[in-house]
Structure formats: C-alpha cells, structure tokens
Amino acid sequence: MNESDCIFCKIVSGDIPAYKVYEDDDFLAFLDIHPQSPGHVQVIPKEHVRWVWDHKNVGEYFKVVQKVALAQRKAFNTDWILSKIVGDEVPHAHIWVFPNKEVEGDPKDFETNAEKIKNNL
C-alpha cells in the first residue's frame, strides 16, 4: 500500500476528519473510531512508516505515547492504561493507548473524550 491509499496518511493530511488529541511536527494522536474504552487513542507518525520498529526515532515516538498515556490517566481517573502494538489493522505504524474498560464514560462520545485528554496534556 502506498501513502495515497493509507487511511492514516489521509487523516494526517486532513482528507479524513479525526478527533485529534495531540499533534506536533512528527506525530499525531487521535481517537480510534472503534474504541475499546473511552479515550482509546491511536498514536502515529505523520510520515508513512509501515512498522513502529522502523520509525527513525522510536524513542521520540514512545515519548509521545507516554505523554498521551499520562494525560489519559488524569482524564479518566485511572492508573490502568493499556497499550498495544500489532500493526495488522492498518499498514501504517500505530500504537493503541487506552484506559481500562472500567472507566466511566461513553466510548463513542468522541468530542468529550478528546477534550478530556487534551485538557490533561
């Protein structure tokens, strides 16, 4: 798959809307449209890279993931933040970061959940 067919590249370019919670020059974090729990976020590099392990600066990537996870802890009042790296769902590097399923809130209330995370970054 090339970049022009990649759904995450289309989110980065703004061609597909997303509930963004964090963005810098190299990375973007947005709510997953099929959330495992309230505040389920995908953290991706803006550059099209197939696998997390192939990113040129995986240390910076994980710093962004940490920043999002710490914000989720505060936003959803839990210490239990999960992460998952598989990569089979979309052929663009991505890391799932999400609170445990027992946190309060509606997983599909994207606007509220995005604001909660942004307010705690």
Count structural domains, the chain: 1
Q: Specify if 42 maps to a domain.
A: yes
Residue of 40, 55, 92, 94 marked catalytic: 94
Q: Specify if 53 maps to a domain.
A: yes
Q: Is 55 a catalytic residue?
A: no
Confidence of residue 4 (pLDDT cuts 50, 70, 90): confident
Report pLDDT digits (tens) over 33-91: 999 999 999 999 999 999 999 999 999 999 999 999 999 999 999 999 999 999 988 99
Specify the pTM: 0.95
The CATH number that applies at residue 42 is 3.30.428.10
Q: Specify if 101 maps to a domain.
A: no
Question: How many residues appear in the chain?
Answer: 121
Residue ranges making up the domain that contains 47: 3-91+109-118
Q: Specify if 60 maps to a domain.
A: yes
Cβ within 8 Å of residue 114, ≥6 positions away: 19, 20, 21, 31
CA distance 76 to 113: 9
Q: Specify if 102 maps to a domain.
A: no
Q: Specify if 64 maps to a domain.
A: yes
Q: What percent of the chain has pLDDT over 90?
A: 93
Q: Specify if 34 maps to a domain.
A: yes
